[in-house]
Structure 1
């Protein structure tokens, strides 16, 4: 599915009111029709970056309703190519994006098709980013990424680079109140590991050798589900705040996983005024086929529309 490479543009000032209106909308798509629902505000991005991907509206595998999305990537990247990726991602329509500092809830369900990758490799299944304007310098990672490696899910939060804290010489872990971080001063970014499996031995874990107190993580006592167990429904609060006002909540299958607060997202010159969400298989080049199913997408300014549990929503607060 090749097409012209489409660069993200800054949203003009005249569109700010439209973005504010978009933040108040509730978007839903259960992928029950042969195409995207108008009320869902989603589309499949047709460009060269998605040449390895395919999208299928199907009914054989579904979580609810009459259908679900099947998103697949095949091997396309030349062996050892450092910048090539293979992806089949679904995007929010640009006019419906939410202002960067506005809290918004997202819900979606994902199921891994067999065979489930178990190698130490770069896989993403969902990501939240800030718009990149033509004047921005650099390649900006997602401020919130749902990642997969070594057969396990993990979650990272990205912000601008800040000097790290020393690791405890006795335990080899971060001091109380700090979280593991991958410091990347050459790109003015750092990536915090905010949800990780127990006894995680992936090569990705070895990158998080620093510590930071710029991001606070509250473990809510529940682990991410095993991807081999079938459908996983996520409910996520997204509110970037590179000035320290960021706030993220993550639920999986109705269980509260983690609260993240602090410096979340990027504040570099030239970046756009909106956040946006995209989901689907995204990986560095690999020699096989990788398929994910998605169902029950919801975006709302209200927790209950996504989580469906008023009691838990009241517990979250600001």
Structure 2
């Protein structure tokens, strides 16, 4: 059934070019239904699979990116995708970023308010960066219209801090209490998120998962406040970035007004559950969420590569899980 729906959608994409507006409108309804389709790409075909809904976006920031399909010791199947970001920013250029990211195609994006499950295997290739240069490995964001104000950060991001994995949640600014203040003299209360208050951009960022056994100082000290409106239940720490392939299963359910829910699993092990205020709901934002993955950083001198395998997406955990058991609904 899903193959028939996908063919219908692809057929519409071709027909809209040559037909009148009524048929184009009908095709738009089919395209809107694509958000409920299962997506999968094992990167075994030497290019992006039609059923995967992915593409490499060509832009100024991605001009130094490299995309390689090949038998690079894949987790499953016969191929994997390696994305490499090269030095492409002038050292003195302000607000310049270097990216090599793969995006979901616009026609398969899911509504922002819906629940979507993702699966993706990630391998951090050598040499592993050891500094803290805003390294992002995968991120989930809300679409923004061209006239939108501000720079909304990803509501969920998989990051690298001094060679160690970390996961962050972002939301519209919520009340937070600095550690050491009268409200939180000794640290966060059970369940409260450790956060960075960003009053200048009206956002709050929470560090919700870290690596087991990471040395002191691996994660930034600016996460120094507690947010009761972001509730975090930690089940286990993240695997080490150096361990090789890590198969992530992630529930994406933003809720900027307090009804959000994120679930993270790694290699079949539940890592963390986050509930509460997740994501942005300000003016100028659009109706869809979107996912993109690939190395993204502030300007650097050395190449940085990350490999990916077995991308999948679906409306249920059971659509994407490979190891372990799905969390209770």
Among 308, 311, 323, the residue aligned to 1:297? 311
Kept after mapping to 1: 8 A contact 2:294/2:306: yes
- TM-score between the two structures when normalised by the length of structure 2: 0.87
Q: Compute the RMSD of aligned alpha carbons.
A: 2.0
Indicate whether 1:23 and 2:38 are aligned.
Answer: no
Structure with bigger gyration radius: 2
Counterpart for residue 142 of structure 1: 154
Provide structure 1 residue ranges, at least 5 long, that are not aligned to the other structure: 1-12
CA distance in 1, matches of 2:26, 2:178: 46
With 77-86 and 210-219 compared, the bigger mean Cα shift is at 77-86
* Native 8 Å contact 1:224 1:257 kept in 2: yes
Deviations 1:140-160 (A, max 9, x none): 100001010111000000000
Q: Map 1:198-277 to 2 at 5 A.
A: 198-202=213-217, 204-220=219-235, 222-277=236-291
Q: Which runs of 4+ in 1 moved over 6 A?
A: 13-16
Counterpart selection for 2:72 from 56, 60, 63:
60
For residues 49-82 of structure 1, what are the alpha-carbon distances to aligned partners after superposition, in whole Å with 9 as ceiling and x for unaligned? 1011010111133111110101001111111433
Give how far 1:15 is off.
Answer: 9.2
8 Å contact 1:113–1:293 — kept in the other structure?
yes
Matched, 1:156 2:171: no
Larger CA deviation: 166-175 vs 98-107: 166-175
In the TM superposition, residue 16 of structure 1 has moved relative to its aligned partner by 8.3
2:41–2:51 contact (8 Å) kept in structure 1: yes
Instruction: Quote the Cα distance in structure 2 between the aligned partners of 1:199 and 1:308.
Output: 27
Q: Is the 8 A contact 2:119 2:250 kept in 1?
A: yes
Aligned counterpart for 1:88 among listed residues 94, 97, 100: 100
How many residues align? The count is 302
Distance 1:64 1:213, change over 3 A: same
Alignment of 1:100 onto 2:112: yes
Q: Structure 1 CA distance, aligned partners of 2:45 and 2:303?
A: 25
Task: Flag structure 2 segments of 5+ consecutive residues without an equivalent.
Answer: 1-24
Pick from 202, 226, 238 the counterpart of residue 188 of structure 1: 202
CA distance in 2, matches of 1:202, 1:121: 15
Query: Are 2:137 and 1:109 aligned?
Result: no
Is contact 1:20-1:99 (8 Å) kept? no
* Residue equivalent to 1:122: 134
Alignment of 1:36 onto 2:48: yes
Residues 182-233 of structure 1: per-residue CA shift (max 9 Å, x gap): 111111111011112344544652111121111110111x211112111011
